[in-house]
Amino acid sequence: MEKSFDAMVSSFKEFVKRIKQYEEALAVIYWDLRTGAPKKGVPGRAEVIGMLSTEVFRMSTSTEMEEYLGYFTKEENSKLLDNIMKALVKEYKKDFDRFKKIPEEVYKEYVILTSEAESVWEEAKNNNDFDLFSPYLEKIVSFNLKFIEYWGCKSNKYDTLLDYYEPGMTVEKLDKIFKELREKIVPLVSKIKVSEHQPDDSIFKKDFCIKKQDDFSRYILEKMGYDFEAGRLDESEHPFTIGMTPGDVRITTHYYKNLFSSALFSAVHEGGHALYEQNISADLNGTALCTGTSMGVHESQSRLWENMIGRSYEFWKCYYPELLKVFPEQFEGVSLDEFYRAINKVESSLIRVEADELTYNLHIMIRYEIEKALINQEIKVADLPRIWNERMEEYLGVVPTNDAEGVLQDVHWSGGSFGYFPSYTLGNIYSAQLLNAIKRDIPDLSERLSNGDMLVIKEWLADKVHKHGKLLTPAEILKSVTGEEIEPKHLVQYLEDKYTQIYKL
Ligand SMILES: [Zn+2]
C-alpha cells in the first residue's frame, strides 16, 4: 500500500535529518583538524572524512532521494507543501541535479584532481612557481566548462557558477554593480594616497600579551551577543566559523604577539558569521535550511560587525577606555581619535586578506574579471600572471614583484571554487544596505552604540535576517528589510563619508 502524504513528509524529514547529522559529524572533525588534532591522528581522521562525505553524497543522489523529490514535485502533492517543505524540496533538488547530472567517474576524477591541486598550489606558492600550478588550473577550468554543459548553460557561462554561491546573481548585474563601485572607489583611494593626514598604525606593532588579547576578544564577543554556551573561541592558523546546529557554532581567531588589531577584528568578523548561525529559527533545525541563505549574505553579517560596527567611532568611544585598562602602557598617549584613525588606515597592498575595507573590493574585482574571462574562454591560464599584474597596477597602483604575492596568493582556484570571490564584495554592499535599515529602525543607534549597547543590533539582525536561515533567498531578505534590490550606492556613500572625514579630504 502507498504511504499517505503525511507519512511521506515525515519519512522525508527523517531522511534529510540523517544527511544533516552526517554533515554535523563532518563539521566537528574539520574543526578538530584545524584547532590542534594530534598529527599522528590526521591520516585516520581523513579516512573518516572520506567515508562520511561519500555517505552524504550517496544519500543526496540516491534513488530514495529521487523518489521523494519525484513525489513532492508532482502537482497534486506540491500544492499541499508548507513553506518549509517547499524550500527543502527545492534545496535538495538543487543538490540532486547538481551532482546527478555529472557522470560519476567524471566527478571522482575531479575530486582527485582538486585534492592534488591544493598541495601543488601550496608548493607553487612557496616556490613562486606559476608554471608548476598552471597545468592543474587548466584542467580544473576545463572540468568546470564540462560541468556547465551538464548543468545547463545560462546566458553567460559564468552565471551558472555564480548562481551556486549567490542564487539569482548574474554577470549582467555584477558588471554593472562592480563598475559603479570601481568608478567611485579608485579615485577615492587615489585621493587618500596623497592626503597629508595619514593615520599612524605603528601603535599596533608593540608587545601585546596573548592571554589579554584573548580575554578582550571574549569580552567584546559577549557584548555582541555571541552565546558562549552555544559556541567557543579557539585559535587556528586561518580564522573561521563552523556551525553544527544553532546550539553549537564555533569560531576561531589567530593571535599575533606583536600585532594587536588582527586577532580582535578576526574574532569580531567570525562572531558576525556565528551570530547568524546561532539565531536561525528552531523550526529549521535538522534540515539544509538551517544555515545562511548565501555566501554574500553571510559575509554581510561578518563585515557589518567587523567594519561598520567594530571600526566605528561610536563603538570605540565606549570600548577604548576598556581597552586602555587592559593595555595601558602600549596605548599610552594615544587618543581615541588617533586610535580610531589607525584601525581605519587605507593602504593599497598586494595581499587580499590583509586589505582594508575600502581597497578590499578592488582585489575582488580583479579576481572576478579573471574568472569571468577564463570561464568564457577569452583568456588562457598562461596569461594570468600578466593580466593579474596589469589589473593591480590599474586598480590599486601597486604591482607584485612575484607570483607568490600576485596570482598565486589565494587557495580558491585550486579547489575549483569559481564564482565564490564576488560574495565578499556583495557582502560589503548588502551590509551597507542593512546598516541604513538599522539606522532607520533604531533612530538613536549612534547614542546606544556609544554606550556599548550592541544587543539592539544583534536582535534586529536576528529578527530580520538570521531567523529565516535559507528559507528566504538573498533578494527576498533584502527586499523585505530595505524595500530595495541590491544597490551599491549605499556602500559608496558609507565609504565616502567615512574616509572623507578620516583623511580630511
Ligand atoms: Zn567571512
More confident residue, 2 or 367: 367
pLDDT tens across 311-345, in order?
Answer: 999 999 999 999 999 999 999 999 999 999 999 99
Ligand 1 centroid – CA 353 distance (Å)? 10
Q: What mean pLDDT comes out for the span 143-160?
A: 92
Q: How far is CA 104 from CA 61, 82, 113, 142, 225, in A?
A: 11, 33, 14, 17, 45
Res. 154: pLDDT tops 80: no
Ligand 1 centroid – CA 272 distance (Å)? 8
Res. 195: pLDDT tops 90: yes
Ligand 1 centroid – CA 428 distance (Å)? 11
Point out the residues that are catalytic: 270
Q: Please identify every residue whose CB atom is under 5 Å from ligand 1, which is an ion.
A: 302
pLDDT tens across 287-300, in order?
Answer: 999 999 999 999 99
* Alpha-carbon span 285 to 245, nearest angstrom: 7
Q: Which helix (H) or strand (E) holds 253?
A: strand 248-253
Res. 153: pLDDT tops 90: no
3-state secondary structure 53-64: HHHHHHHHCCHH
pLDDT tens across 91-106, in order?
Answer: 999 999 988 999 888 9
Ligand 1 centroid – CA 146 distance (Å)? 30
Ligand 1 centroid – CA 12 distance (Å)? 33
pLDDT at 304 (0 to 100): 98
pLDDT at 374 (0 to 100): 97
Res. 2: pLDDT tops 80: no
What pLDDT band is residue 1 in, cutting at 50, 70 and 90?
A: low
Which residue type, as a one-letter code, is found at position 422? P
Ligand 1 centroid – CA 283 distance (Å)? 25
Of 27-36, 422-431, 441-450, the range with the lowest mean pLDDT is 27-36
Q: Average pLDDT of the chain?
A: 95
Res. 199: pLDDT tops 80: yes
Of 45-54, 294-303, 400-409, 425-434, the range with the lowest mean pLDDT is 45-54
DSSP code string of 82-102: -HHHHHHHHHHHHHHHHHHTS
pLDDT tens across 451-474, in order?
Answer: 999 999 999 999 999 999 999 999
Angle at the Cα of 362 from the Cα atoms of 402 and 389, rounded to 5 degrees: 25
What pLDDT band is residue 422 in, cutting at 50, 70 and 90?
A: very high
Ligand 1 centroid – CA 50 distance (Å)? 26
* Alpha-carbon span 61 to 101, nearest angstrom: 10
- The SS3 assignment for 235 reads strand
* Alpha-carbon span 241 to 292, nearest angstrom: 12
pLDDT tens across 48-102, in order?
Answer: 988 898 899 999 999 999 999 999 999 999 999 999 999 999 999 999 998 899 9
**How large is the angle between the packed helices 489-502 and 422-441, nearest 10 degrees?**
80
